[in-house]
Chain A
Amino acid sequence: MCRPWANRDVRPYNVGAVNTNSLVLLVLLVLAVGAFGYNALRLFRLLRLGKREDRFDRIGERLKSLLIYVLGQKRVLEDPYSGVLHLFIFWGFIVFSLGTIEILGKGLYKGFSLPLLGSGQPHQYLAFLQDVFALLVIAGVLMATYRRLVLRPERLGGHFSDAAVILVLIFGLMVTHLGASGLNILLNRNPSASWTPVSRVLARFFAGLDLANGTEPFLHSLFWWSHILLLLGFLVYIPFSKHLHIITAAFNVFFRSLRPQGALAPMGLEATETFGVARIWEFTWKQLLDLYACTECGRCQDQCPAYLTGKPLSPKKLILDLQGHLLSQGPALMKRGRSPGNGNGHALVGEVILEDELWACTTCGACQAACPVFIEHIDKAVDMRRNLVLMESRFPYEVQQVFKNLENNFNPWALGWDSRADWAKGLGVKLLSENGEAEILYWVGCAGSFDERNRKVSRAMVNVLQAGDVDFAILGTEEKCTGDAARRIGNEYLFQILVRENIETLDKYRVRKVLTTCPHCYNTLKNEYPQFGGNFEVVHSTEFIADLIDVGRLKFRKDQELVVTYHDSCYLGRHNGIYKAPRRVLRAIPGTKVVELPHSREKGFCCGAGGGRMWMEEKIGKKINLERTEEVLAAKVSAVGTACPFCLTMLEDGIKSKEAGESLKALDLVELVAQAI
């Protein structure tokens, strides 16, 4: 009979061990750690299939991310129910990890003690924490079980058995811990008994059972070994489970992208034979690490406008499909070695990711904003698009017109580039080519220049600027599309041509400050042009107007009597964090009552036009703009304010489709302001 506790040790926290058992434990430990190590190494080597990428910069910021998002669980907590249960289990894990080291250490060598804890008091704190967290973790596990079995949120989907195994394992670990700890008290071997209230209750419970002599030590031994076996089993199981994230998530958060959210990864077009990502190993190691980090929580899917309107895309599925592919094909790839060229691994698009899936993405960023472990979905989608476009010229039929129009007329609509400034005729707007300089360059954008509806916004902007006595000018026919859509559709080549030409023009006039009403222009100019040496101060109309109001340069006269809501533009909001300025502007208009939509701010719902989707047919599922329009209609407002020409177009279209034009108007905030001054 095993009696690991027979040797009465009076160390503060003690589960006890003897030599023969130490040997068994040692063997088990070596086997388990070996198995874990082997599989971890296998995964690590698969990561190294990926291309190089520097994610070792700005270490301080990275450490801060760890504090906030790993230890602080900030993003996880954004969903209260799952957030709290995860917090219990996560912190339980931390506490128990420390305890586990000690248990195992002692199991092998009785004099073992965690170096930092020394002896005495701190061990009692740890014992206390473990005792309490065991209970909290059990609560977490029960909550999770209830969620899996009863609440069953759609986003969890699939892999139920994996989740079940894990919950059972965790539950088992806690129960065995408490069991062993309680019996330890009963056996008078726990000097920290006063620090472990839960165990004390259990001890009383065991005492009440009035067990036969010798049963208690046996039970204790059973709990202890069960705990150890569960623990080691867990270790072996982790690399095969979504629970791998307990290791990878922290790394993923540490190595997260510190680029501005709205900026796509830069891409060189020289000195390379292939462009974009066709095969799994053409991703960078960090993009592959993303695949390991996925916890399958499905928060991304829950926010994805494409998924929610019945498109074949789910960001979660995208990541898991790539993960599955990496795990199944990676080993063979490692053997063959990788090199550009065909026959080296399967093409991802068409085999792993459907084309319709890939093109469904609006790059709205809702998935990335929701992901607790900072997986970068958009870059992966765009990298695969880049490959299709740049290598194979494969893209939805409609897109070709856009590319050609951008090439020949620098706008997406096949309208002559020389009519770009026609909207401004008779408004007294200065042209930089005539005046040479102005305090602010008003970057009008293609929609504001060519689209009849959005030209009204441009004219309103001019009214506001003139009313605010702002010294501004436009580029007129020298302005070209910033290239936002081209880049997001995957045509990096065309994008870079437009960027170079625009930067040249802006530099020619020594432009310093750029104002724009278009969040896509804003994002590209502000976050992506610096990748090509174009550094300008970029402000969005809503920020600019909010400032004008603050300094009292805009005076409102008319009372509006308007119940209005604001639709967050993805590229203004999520990608650039501008939530307050538009709301400040709305509230400043006298007589305006502002109502928030259910999906707003970080959880704003895309209009459906981002990522080049503005130029593609939406043939699958429900139209995203209709989904959003319905949400707006349900808010019972008389106007929906927008701050993006694409959003305006999409919502107005949605309102027309719903034949709701009488009761609901879509207006750019600039128009609302212009009406009121």
Chain B
Amino acid sequence: MAGGVWVFAEHRDGSLRKVTLEAMSAGKGLAGLLGEELAAVLMGEGVAPLADTLAHHGAQKVFLAQDSSLAKYTTNAYATVLSQLVLQNQPSILLFGATAQGRDLAPRVAMRLEAPLASDCTALSLDEKGRLVATRPIYAGKVIATVLAEGSSQMATLRPNMVPISEPDSLRKAEVVKVSAGPSPEGIRTRILEVVQEVAGAVDLAEADIIVSGGRGIKGPENFAIIRELASVLRAAVGASRAAVDAGWIPHQHQVGQTGKVVSPKLYIACGISGAIQHLAGMRSSKCIVAINKDPEAPIFKVADYGIVGDFFQVVPLLTEEFKKLLVEG
């Protein structure tokens, strides 16, 4: 039977990515509206057990492609298998997580199949004709676009943390369809040599998604330990204001600002930084800014999304504790 809503099931270190479950949840809604089945595509080596989890989260069918050539994600091998599968089964909708992998794979598959693809969506729905309508932020979130995907096998990548994961039902089973997969016929043109895990605290400022910064208000070089602890829980990079660097508390490569690095992470946590313009110029375009400072008049609060007027030494360790609860234990 043609049709269906599919989710590309991304996994890492033996478990499904959280965004995959979010996509399952979104896909379930769409499948319900369309009156079609929800299926997942699971690729890799030794990943069969994950099919159950997908079933628990609503997959009625799991396409399982297992091969040593799929053990590590490579664009070409994955795109080849997935495109053939889509071509053969003609799903109505195919969802990916807007992750490094999803954003690498989806455009390739979409182009191969000449299918529409909406990137980095925050919400998905259908129009009256059952076509995929996606909401996606553009201009770095300054504008929200509502877009329509036209054509068969409409694809979208879903931004993480946007859709709540629906309650799993551990009794649910899915039909597992084994898909044959072998080495890509074109030969191997890319090879993964190594995956280097980021060491907490050593994350490069320029590339970091989250930055925790300290300024004059943290009082001394030893207190960067408090900053580093929070950063390590958040897998964040450690930044600093010019004052902290000038005082010799931390090397210059950590300096954020006009004369240091200009950054725009998703989250910027400024601790004990008053917010001199030269600092603001370097971090103002961050998506979300949190300011923790004793002085309620500090200019940093003018640009902060969330502000805590309080003592760095009290607030930040508590914050680390809370994040730890959420991210490590929860």
- Answer whether A and B touch in the complex at a CB cut-off of 8 Å: yes
Chain A contact residues, CB within 8 Å of chain B: 398, 401-402, 405, 412-415, 447, 450-453, 615-617, 619, 623, 649, 653, 656-657
Distance in angstroms from A26 CB to nearest chain B CB is 68
Cβ–Cβ contact A617 & B275, under 8 A:
no
Q: Which residues of A contact B71 (CB under 8 A)?
A: none
Per-residue contact bits, chain B 242-263, to A (CB 8 Å; 1 contact, 0 not)? 0100110000100000111010
With contacts A453-B299, A623-B246 taken as known, whether A414 is within 8 angstroms of B281 at the C-beta atoms is yes
Distance in angstroms from A422 CB to nearest chain B CB is 11
* Cα–Cα distance between A619 and B242 once the two chains are bound (Å): 12
Cβ–Cβ contact A616 & B281, under 8 A:
no
Cβ–Cβ contact B259 & A617, under 8 A:
yes
Q: Which residues of B contact A619 (CB under 8 A)?
A: 252
- Indicate if B188 sits at the interface (CB-CB under 8 A): no
Q: Which residues of B contact A401 (CB under 8 A)?
A: 258, 262, 281
Cβ–Cβ contact A657 & B246, under 8 A:
yes
Cβ–Cβ contact B299 & A398, under 8 A:
no
A contact patch SS? helix
Cβ–Cβ contact A452 & B258, under 8 A:
no
Q: Which residues of A contact B260 (CB under 8 A)?
A: 398
Distance in angstroms from B247 CB to nearest chain A CB is 7
Cβ–Cβ contact B247 & A452, under 8 A:
no
Q: Which residues of A contact B246 (CB under 8 A)?
A: 623, 657
- Which 4 A-B pairs rank lowest in CB-CB distance, beginning with the nearest? A452-B299, A413-B281, A398-B259, A451-B277
Cβ–Cβ contact B258 & A402, under 8 A:
yes
Q: Which residues of B contact A623 (CB under 8 A)?
A: 246
Cβ–Cβ contact B216 & A656, under 8 A:
yes
Q: List 29 A-B contacts (CB under 8 A).
A: A398-B258, A398-B259, A401-B258, A401-B262, A401-B281, A412-B258, A412-B281, A413-B278, A413-B280, A413-B281, A414-B262, A414-B281, A414-B285, A415-B280, A447-B277, A450-B277, A452-B277, A452-B299, A453-B276, A453-B277, A453-B299, A615-B258, A616-B259, A617-B252, A617-B259, A653-B276, A656-B216, A657-B243, A657-B246
Distance in angstroms from B235 CB to nearest chain A CB is 27
* Cα–Cα distance between A415 and B278 once the two chains are bound (Å): 11
Question: Smallest CB-CB separation from B275: which chain A residue?
Answer: A452
Question: Smallest CB-CB separation from A452: which chain B residue?
Answer: B299
Distance in angstroms from A610 CB to nearest chain B CB is 16
- Indicate if B302 sits at the interface (CB-CB under 8 A): yes
Partner of B281, one of A415, A453, A656: A415
Question: Smallest CB-CB separation from A614: which chain B residue?
Answer: B278
Q: Which residues of A contact B281 (CB under 8 A)?
A: 401, 405, 412-415
Q: Which residues of A contact B280 (CB under 8 A)?
A: 413, 415
- Indicate if B228 sits at the interface (CB-CB under 8 A): no
Question: Smallest CB-CB separation from B259: which chain A residue?
Answer: A398
Q: Which residues, 262 to 294 on B, are CB-close (under 8 Å) to A?
A: 262, 275-278, 280-281, 284-285
Q: Which residues of B contact A452 (CB under 8 A)?
A: 275, 277, 299, 302
* Cα–Cα distance between A617 and B252 once the two chains are bound (Å): 10
Cβ–Cβ contact A414 & B302, under 8 A:
no
Known: A414-B258, A447-B277, A453-B276. 17 other contacts (CB 8 A): A398-B258, A398-B260, A414-B281, A414-B284, A415-B280, A450-B277, A451-B277, A452-B275, A452-B299, A452-B302, A453-B277, A453-B299, A615-B259, A616-B259, A656-B243, A657-B243, A657-B247
